[in-house]
Amino acid sequence: MAVEAATLAERCRDRFPIFEHQVYINSCSQGALSDSVRAAYQQYLADWDEKGAPWEYWVERQEAARAAFAGLVNAGPDEIAVTTSLSAGVSALASGLRFTRRSKVVLTDWEFPTIGQIWHAQEARGARVSHVPAADDGTIPLEHFERAIDDDTLIVSITHVCYRNGAMLDVPAVVELAHERGALVLLDAFQAIGSLPVDVAGLGVDFLGAGVLKYLLGSAGLGFFYCRRDLVERVWPTQTGWFADENIFAMDHTDYSPARTAARFQSGTPPVPSIYAGIAGIELMQEIGIAATRDHVQTLNAHLLEGLDELQAKVVTPRAPEHRGALICVKSTDAKALVVALGDEGIVTSDRDDNLRISAHCYNTVEDVDTVLAALQRHRKLLA
């Protein structure tokens, strides 16, 4: 396993110039910049300079991004909306639901703020929001969902991997339960996509939102939203825009006729520069291999956990590999100060909830992990 891990990182690490001067182990916040994504931005500028306003070509780039993401999650291109963020797609969905026959929205206490804020905003439209708590061991057992999902539940909104503690949900089990009780399921896959294989058919979800700036190695400003094909025309978004129309080139301001595909969850002008970068990032991750990256990071994290145990650090991420994503979180007495201290030594990490976040990806090595562990030994007083 160690040899395979080394081989994967060696194969791609020189594509990421940041490693010439820093140990970057913060992909849960943003993926490291690759040469291909930098080149994609340069190509966008060249196209703009050469062609002026090539909107038909840029629309083709949007369609290429749609197809790339569809292939990534085993969906059809007609089931994918190209958005500016996860928030934009989820907001469009929420605006298109009606809270009459069923009014309850079930979400977990793991959700990123945007998810909770969007669903609580629907309370003004009749939604009732219920939160599912985690257990003491850092997981959310299925029985917690069993108590929350009932015959008034319209949608269950869950995250694949928690951004605060790295815990991973048993998505298929929650989906099966929700469907048995007549509820829809939305999955926030932002903290998972690119770090492990995500298959919407295998997971059984009805909707999925994600973005490219973390493990898909793109940049801010580009998200995707999946809607299962048979559900598309059951949702009538009222948060909308030009590129959600059935025919964007009709330029009709007298009518609202949303696309008959998932494009109805889109809005205004697409984020063209971010689309160039997003396509490059997705293609690079597919070249490197997402399943191989998952195995690679599991190997690195096993080594990291051994070292953290030697330091007697308090790990808040579940230990079982099947219950965690790529992210390992460690309790700190002053997480912000610890992030700064590591940064002063050339190690890039981040913090949430008094936890230090350490997030390896395809380009990280055992030596990176050892460098982090040695630095934590020097700053042991900042570990809980």
- pLDDT, tens only, 122-145: 999 999 999 999 998 889 999 999
- pLDDT, tens only, 38-48: 999 999 999 99
Q: Would you state the pLDDT for residue 6?
A: 64
Phi, psi of 271 (to 5 degrees): -80, 80
Strand partners, 188: 159, 209
Domain 38-285 top-level CATH class: alpha beta
Average pLDDT over residues 159-188: 98
Give yes or no for residue 1 having a pLDDT over 60.
no
Q: How far is 228 from 203, CA to CA, in rounded Å?
A: 12
Does the domain at residues 2-33+289-382 carry the CATH identifier 3.90.1150.10?
yes
Q: Which is higher by pLDDT, 26 or 1?
A: 26
Q: Would you state the pLDDT for residue 2?
A: 47
Give yes or no for residue 251 having a pLDDT over 70.
yes
Question: Domain map of the chain by residue range?
Answer: 2-33+289-382, 38-285
Instruction: Pull the structure tokens for residue 56.
Output: 């038909």
Crossing angle of helices 290-310 and 2-12, in 10° steps, is: 120
Could you tell me the strand order of the sheet in which 153-159 lies? 80-83, 223-227, 207-211, 184-188, 153-159, 104-108, 128-132
Residue 379 pLDDT class (50, 70, 90 cuts): very high
Average pLDDT over residues 346-353: 97
- pLDDT, tens only, 189-225: 999 999 999 999 999 999 999 999 999 999 999 999 9
Q: Would you state the pLDDT for residue 5?
A: 53
Q: Would you state the pLDDT for residue 168?
A: 97
Q: Would you state the pLDDT for residue 248?
A: 87
Q: Would you state the pLDDT for residue 3?
A: 40
Average pLDDT over residues 332-344: 98
Q: Would you state the pLDDT for residue 4?
A: 54
- pLDDT, tens only, 269-298: 999 999 999 999 999 999 999 999 999 999
Q: Are 219 and 274 in contact (CB under 8 A)?
A: yes
Q: Would you state the pLDDT for residue 137?
A: 86
CA angle 163, 164, 165 (to 5 degrees): 100
Q: Would you state the pLDDT for residue 364?
A: 98
Question: What is the rounded average pLDDT for all residues in the chain?
Answer: 96
Range in 7-11, 63-67, 183-187, 340-344 the model is least confident about: 7-11
Q: How far is 358 from 124, CA to CA, in rounded Å?
A: 38
Q: How far is 133 from 260, CA to CA, in rounded Å?
A: 37
